Structure 1
Amino acid sequence: MHGSKLGKARGESMDFGRLRTLRELSLRKTMSSVAEALLISPSAVSQQIALLEDEVGISLVERRGRGVRLTPAGERLVEHAGKVIGIIEEAKTDLAELKRTVAGELRVSAFPSVAASLIPRTMKALADRFPDLVTTFDELEPMDSLAALRAWRIDVAIVDDLSTASGFPEGTVEMHHLLDDSLFVLLPLDHRFSGDDTVSLGELSGEKWALDTSSSTYTGVIVGACRDAGFDPTINGHCHGFEVVRALIAAGCSISIIPGLRGRDYIGDLCMKEIRPRIVRGIFLAYRRGEKRNPAIAAFISELEKVVGSSCG
């Protein structure tokens, strides 16, 4: 993007906001995606990187097609930026713990089935009990949540161990077990297995399947379970949300697999049967190591566990 820099401000302190922008660029790879994350224009992202390069007196990024790649100097600076951001976040936690007040902003992420079942009531309980705390929510798949947590874009992530089996836990993140959630087969009311207590996947080998493919990882888990049972599922519905999956099942076109949490909220006039043998996913809270002592995070965990207890107890 830039050649060698003469460095207008060499020796002066580096701007923290520009360091954060560079770190976002290392994670997101394009100016436009960084701009979307930081709620600024792509030209402003480019300008911040150029100003940072002027500050340090060396090129930090180079263009590669539509994206950019960090130079060795840029990668080294991002490593230091991560440490600086971590120290600042730790300082915020220390001060919040000393004040012992639940206030400020808490950024939370979760994947759809958990989000719909648990997040709204938890946010409402927090707002009623702690009016000075502003809780914001992002719907993210588990691996995206962990990436956002590592990048300090969120404070608490709700993830599961089916979708993140290859990427969790890690040394900088603490995990707090929240609940176990079984998967169920979702059938039309007049299906031949609607009167059975449980259904094995092998018995469903001749069925047509509708899957919510918005999460490729979760879809892979379902397809893998079917293959373990001895067949490749015939998929006649590739859907980008559960609403269409549900409509296909209700019309008698398909069957599907649904997490228990989502099923309790959305089963309606369909039939939900436990899979034999059970397929269970663990659901966990993830937060940066040591931040459970932050009063806002501790309050969120407490309220969420109350909601879990009332929903799943």
Structure 2
Amino acid sequence: MEVGRLRALLELARRGTIAAAAEALFLTPSAVSQQIAQLEEEAGVELTERVGRGVRLTAAGQALVGYAERVMVVLDEARSELAVLRREIAGELRVAAFPSVASALLPDTVKALRQVFPRLEIILEEMEPVDGLSALRSWRADIALIDDLSLVVGDKQESVGVVPLAEDVLSVALATTHPLASKPSLSVADLRHEAWAIDSTSSVFGDFIANLCRRAGYEPKINAKCRGFEVVGAMVASGCSVSIVPGLRLVRPPAGVAWVKLRPEVRRKIYVAFRRGERNHPAINVCVEEVVRTAARLIG
């Protein structure tokens, strides 16, 4: 059975639709359908069945998914062992990271690795945690920096390993001229009457902040849905909005913004993730170790 076809089946199982699997694999839906059809021909049994306008895996398809996951882990282990035998840390390493952790940790990490391993090329792609995890699983990334919000309860994680990186403490961001900026701490309820700027790049994080407000008894009045922290910071600094943002932003804080502790404290856990079969790959190993060291130095 051809490996690319097994990957197509894995993505279909994880994402639920041909269109979503195609997007993850950078293929057309017709190409994915063709790969599944070819895999069914090789297997001699139907792996999917029509349900309305969509498809779902048959019992045979679900069984093959389990074997495909194990095959992929073994292939990753083989690549890792060959890299060890070459005794050289070189080549391209693709890292997916979400904006706050990428800007806080990766410049120093990449610089340190470049000095020690000049033939190792780090390729960074900015992705939200959920997308980074998907990229890792579909072999579009070798390492992904993710948070615990992206790890869905009940979701299978057998193929992915993680190393704890840091705990990020969320903070209230206000203009330095805001009347509440001098407070030692603020609750979400204290911000009931404020207008909010929300980084809407990640629906997961935006929904998490909105739910904090709902649990405090109100629906946040959002006057800025921003595609990145640059606009959030500008709206906050101008006094037009407030926000709750990752503490990682304090590593390189914008001008004109005051940071106030959130009461009670809200934390999210940050991890560096990799495919389990590649944990001993030399390039992945040194990158994981370096980003952990950088996080310990900058975040503590």
Distance 1:72 1:259, change over 3 A: same
Tell whether the 8 Å contact from 1:176 to 1:284 is kept in structure 2 after alignment: yes
Matched, 1:18 2:5: yes
Q: 1:16 & 1:235 partners in 2: Cα distance?
A: 46
- TM-superposed CA distance for 1:183, in Å, is 1.2
Which of structures 1 and 2 has the larger relative contact order (alpha carbons within 8 angstroms, sep 6+)?
2
Tell whether the 8 Å contact from 1:103 to 1:133 is kept in structure 2 after alignment: yes
Q: 2:248 & 2:240 partners in 1: Cα distance?
A: 23
Distance 1:203 1:44, change over 3 A: closer
Q: 2:68 & 2:150 partners in 1: Cα distance?
A: 29
- TM-superposed CA distance for 1:65, in Å, is 5.6
Aligned to 2:286: 299
Bigger shift: 129-138 or 80-89?
Answer: 129-138
Corresponding residue to 1:28 among 2, 10, 15: 15
* Aligned ranges 1:236-255 → 2 under 5 Å: 236-255=223-242
Tell whether the 8 Å contact from 1:163 to 1:218 is kept in structure 2 after alignment: no
- TM-superposed CA distance for 1:186, in Å, is 0.9
Q: 1:21 & 1:165 partners in 2: Cα distance?
A: 22
Deviation by residue 1:15-36 (Cα, 9 ceiling, x = unmatched): 2222222222333344444444
Q: 1:174 & 1:34 partners in 2: Cα distance?
A: 22
Aligned to 2:252, the other structure's residue is in SS state helix
Aligned to 1:57: 44
- TM-superposed CA distance for 1:273, in Å, is 1.7
Q: 2:128 & 2:54 partners in 1: Cα distance?
A: 23
Give structure 2 stretches of 5+ with no counterpart. none
Bigger shift: 198-207 or 186-195?
Answer: 198-207
Distance 1:41 1:173, change over 3 A: closer
Letter in 2 for 1:253: C
Matched, 1:140 2:94: no
Higher-Rg member (1/2): 1
Letter in 2 for 1:297: I
How many pairs align?
300
Aligned to 1:46: 33
* Aligned ranges 1:69-218 → 2 under 5 Å: 69-164=56-151, 166=153, 170=157, 172-218=159-205
Distance 1:171 1:58, change over 3 A: closer
- TM-superposed CA distance for 1:302, in Å, is 2.5
TM-score (norm 2): 0.84
Distance 1:28 1:167, change over 3 A: closer
Give structure 1 stretches of 5+ with no counterpart. 1-13
Q: 2:40 & 2:86 partners in 1: Cα distance?
A: 38
- TM-superposed CA distance for 1:151, in Å, is 4.6
Aligned to 2:46, the other structure's residue is in SS state coil
Identity of aligned residues (%): 47
Q: 1:157 & 1:190 partners in 2: Cα distance?
A: 38
Tell whether the 8 Å contact from 2:10 to 2:69 is kept in structure 1 after alignment: yes
Tell whether the 8 Å contact from 1:30 to 1:66 is kept in structure 2 after alignment: no
Q: 1:57 & 1:224 partners in 2: Cα distance?
A: 48
Q: 2:62 & 2:152 partners in 1: Cα distance?
A: 28
TM-score (norm 1): 0.81
Letter in 1 for 2:65: V
Q: 1:168 & 1:44 partners in 2: Cα distance?
A: 27
- TM-superposed CA distance for 1:104, in Å, is 3.8
Aligned to 1:312: 299
Deviation by residue 1:179-237 (Cα, 9 ceiling, x = unmatched): 22221111122210223333333322221212123323222332333344454433333
Distance 1:188 1:169, change over 3 A: farther
Distance 1:294 1:251, change over 3 A: same
Aligned to 1:11: none
Aligned to 1:86, the other structure's residue is in SS state helix
Deviation by residue 1:269-304 (Cα, 9 ceiling, x = unmatched): 222222233222222222344643221122102221
Q: 1:21 & 1:203 partners in 2: Cα distance?
A: 49
Tell whether the 8 Å contact from 2:109 to 2:294 is kept in structure 1 after alignment: yes
CA RMSD, 1 decimal: 3.0
